[in-house]
Chains A and B, each alone.
Chain A
Amino acid sequence: MRVWRAPSSETAQHARGLALLIIVIFAVMSLLVPEKFLRPYNFISITYVAPELGLLSLAMMVTMMSGGIDLSVIGAANLASILAGLFFHCVGGAHGAELAGLAWPWVAAGLGIALATGLAAGALNGLLIAGLGITPILATIGTAQILTGLALVLTGGPAIVGFPDRWDAIGNGAVAGLAAPLLVFLAYAALIALLLARTTFGVGLALIGTNRKAATYAGLAVRRIVFLSYVLSGALASSAGIILSGRTNAAKSDYGVSYLLQSVLIAVLGGTDPAGGRGSVIGITLALFALMLLASGMQLLRLSNFLVDAVWGAFLLASIALNLWRSRRAGRT
């Protein structure tokens, strides 16, 4: 473990650890299922599947930085895509050529509906947490129920199948050889990295998570910053919903429920401190890549989905233990 020595900064050190993890997973999977794992198709498919989870993990990170959490991301993502889907079925019919060939202004309107849903859900969370002072865990458990419940009420349970082709292109298409979802993720990642490093919002968010009282006395608009972090989380969640529904051409009230655990896992593995104060976009991106490699490897090994969930749980606990061990070691030297 000497590789981690000579740290330039905590983030860089953490990134090196994650890079090592990626290499280990890559090597193990290449040995276990060489002919399947090393096919280019495997890596291309990761660039389509990973971004929606990546967006949810960024949402988790942004809210964890102030010491909060957003447990309503899945609900917001599903409600956003369901509302857009219902809108499309309204203007284009429930199925057939008209729905598939819906013109771009309609698709843009659908995007607007989905994003507005996410922003509204985020604003509601922000209002409850920053405005009314409700604990983030309980507030977002409550809104998660409301959002998922509304999705269930609107659909009655079954999936909404059939989205316009232009919408599906967001989830399936490619631009300049790169998967469209990957580009969305990279755009958000760059935006958030910039926000965290260069704006009062980003720097303030980390300070609030480290010491809320100090942040208040330093004159930061604590409530406004926390509120905005949940709005951003809502925007990320609805974008994940757009990609997920575009990729699968369907939307349902209980899609992606296992993403909640995975996004928390990626946030924590990526070096975010759930108690607040620390988080990096590079860390999230590397952790996402590591876990997606592991997931595809486990899938190729024909591990049952249940065992994959068990592995995520174990991984979450292991990464907490590792973080503790590392911070203790850092404290000793």
Chain B
Amino acid sequence: MKALFRRSEAVVALVLLLAMIGIGALNPAFFSLSNLFSLARSNVVNGIMALGVLTVMISGGIDVSFPAFAIAAMYLTIRLMLAVQWSGVIGPFLLATAIGLALGLLNAALVHGLRMIPLIVTLGTGALVRGALLGLVGTSQINIDRMPPELIRFGSTELVAVRDASGAHIGLSAMILIYLALALLVHLFLGRTLLGRGVYAYGDDREAARRAGFSPPWIVFTVYGLAGALAGFAGLLHASMIWLANPRDFIGLELDVIAAVVLGGASIFGGRGSVPGTMLGVFLLVMISNSLILMHIPTTWQRVVVGLIVIAATAITSWRDRRRLARGLA
């Protein structure tokens, strides 16, 4: 039992459970099927991006450019689809992922080549990409009437659909399957592949990882490339799910996603973090943000709440790390 609670996933899960009970007690509408389905749906885009950020943070880095990359991949892909009358689903998603990947590799090249603090590099690339997109490609939103219909059809696929007492349609988005599949892949990558173990080793102790035979450039290019690719994919998925492409979307999203990853037990010093923890962190944060209205708290408080959660989670993480150091377990 004690060993279980030393795992941060268990602690986050417990907090999540308590929060659910608390919110549900304040407002039983929380447990309605439509609210639970919409919660599950809200996890998808943030969650997919968080998987990339998690990998970067395990390697000891940080990425604040991924929202800009997601928007660039999404908007460029949809604009191209409209310009050349390109339809389909798999092709556009591959393109968006490739754009994200290319931009992520740019981050990696700069982080590795310039030996610069990742925060500064990704601040620069994020501003560069977002500014260039809005300044050169355009700022106009593509609304549902012009959105490629295949994407909309794909984004509104449902796993199950029921009718509530009043006959209203309640559906569970099938997109959560994509999220779960990607989460499983990243989980297996981190836990079961040599390169994945290398990401942990590199984040824990760079020199030791290098001497153990892991190649630092491979790791750096993998983690930032993965973060970019996942962001590009999530960007197009987001547009497909909300039926519009807004190039000004995702501003400030990096904070929510990083907060979720930290909440899930990842350490910015690297070497620590897990996919289940991150998924719980994303769920907790999305749930709290979405439930403020249910709890009769004005939505203007959302940022304060997110900030308090970040501080609390990082304070606990740093306290835990120092206690481990003191015990000589680190």
A binds B: yes
Chain A: residues with CB nearer than 8 A to chain B? 69, 128, 132-135, 137-139, 141-150, 152-153, 156-157, 261, 264-265, 268, 274-275, 303-314, 316-317, 320-321, 324
Instruction: List, sorted by A's number, 19 A–B pairs whose CB atoms are closer than 8 Å.
Output: A128-B314, A134-B311, A138-B310, A142-B307, A145-B255, A145-B306, A153-B298, A157-B300, A265-B124, A274-B119, A275-B117, A306-B130, A306-B132, A306-B139, A309-B130, A309-B131, A310-B135, A312-B131, A320-B110
CB distance from B244 to the nearest CB of A (A): 20
Question: Hey, which chain A residues are within 8 Å of B110, CB to CB?
Answer: 317, 320
Besides A128-B315, A149-B302, A268-B120, 19 other CB < 8 A contacts? A133-B319, A135-B269, A138-B262, A139-B314, A141-B259, A145-B255, A146-B304, A146-B307, A152-B300, A157-B300, A304-B134, A305-B135, A306-B130, A311-B131, A312-B131, A313-B123, A313-B129, A324-B115, A324-B116
Given that A274-B120, A317-B110 are contacting pairs, would A310 and B127 also be in contact in the complex, using a CB cutoff of 8 Å?
A: yes
Which residue of B has the minimal Cβ distance to A146? B307
Contact with A along B109-142 (1 / 0, CB 8 A): 0100011110111011111111111111001000
Complex Cα distance, B128 from A143, in Å, reads: 26
Which residue of B has the minimal Cβ distance to A132? B315
| Cβ–Cβ contact B300 & A153, under 8 A | yes
Question: Hey, which chain A residues are within 8 Å of B131, CB to CB?
Answer: 306-313
Question: Hey, which chain B residues are within 8 Å of A265, CB to CB?
Answer: 124
- Cβ 8 A contact of A137, one of B119, B127, B304, B305: B119
| Cβ–Cβ contact A143 & B307, under 8 A | yes
| Cβ–Cβ contact B124 & A137, under 8 A | no
Which residue of A has the minimal Cβ distance to B315? A132
| Cβ–Cβ contact B126 & A149, under 8 A | no
The SS class assigned to the B binding surface is helix
- Cβ 8 A contact of B127, one of A153, A304, A309: A309
Complex Cα distance, B62 from A316, in Å, reads: 17
Complex Cα distance, B134 from A102, in Å, reads: 43
| Cβ–Cβ contact B298 & A142, under 8 A | no
- 10 closest Cβ pairs, A-B complex: A310-B131, A145-B307, A149-B303, A313-B128, A313-B127, A149-B304, A307-B135, A306-B135, A146-B307, A142-B310
Question: Hey, which chain A residues are within 8 Å of B121, CB to CB?
Answer: 317, 320
Which residue of B has the minimal Cβ distance to A303? B135
Indicate if B318 sits at the interface (CB-CB under 8 A): yes
- Cβ 8 A contact of B303, one of A132, A146, A275: A146
| Cβ–Cβ contact A145 & B318, under 8 A | no
Which residue of A has the minimal Cβ distance to B247? A306
Which residue of A has the minimal Cβ distance to B256? A145
| Cβ–Cβ contact A145 & B303, under 8 A | yes
Question: Hey, which chain B residues are within 8 Å of A311, CB to CB?
Answer: 131
Question: Hey, which chain A residues are within 8 Å of B135, CB to CB?
Answer: 303-307, 309-310
Complex Cα distance, B135 from A305, in Å, reads: 8
Question: Hey, which chain A residues are within 8 Å of B127, CB to CB?
Answer: 261, 309-310, 312-313, 316
| Cβ–Cβ contact B128 & A135, under 8 A | no
Question: Hey, which chain B residues are within 8 Å of A309, CB to CB?
Answer: 127, 130-131, 135
Complex Cα distance, B135 from A219, in Å, reads: 52
Question: Hey, which chain B residues are within 8 Å of A153, CB to CB?
Answer: 298, 300-301, 304
Residue of B127, B130, B136 with highest tally of chain A CB at under 10 A:
B127
CB distance from B258 to the nearest CB of A (A): 7
Indicate if B7 sits at the interface (CB-CB under 8 A): no
| Cβ–Cβ contact A316 & B123, under 8 A | yes
Complex Cα distance, B137 from A150, in Å, reads: 35
Given that A128-B315, A137-B62, A309-B130 are contacting pairs, would A264 and B307 also be in contact in the complex, using a CB cutoff of 8 Å?
A: no
Indicate if B324 sits at the interface (CB-CB under 8 A): no
Question: Hey, which chain A residues are within 8 Å of B129, CB to CB?
Answer: 310, 313
Complex Cα distance, B133 from A305, in Å, reads: 12
CB distance from A220 to the nearest CB of B (A): 20
CB distance from B189 to the nearest CB of A (A): 25
Indicate if B210 sits at the interface (CB-CB under 8 A): no
| Cβ–Cβ contact A146 & B300, under 8 A | no
| Cβ–Cβ contact A138 & B255, under 8 A | no
Given that A150-B304, A307-B131 are contacting pairs, would A320 and B136 also be in contact in the complex, using a CB cutoff of 8 Å?
A: no
CB distance from A117 to the nearest CB of B (A): 15
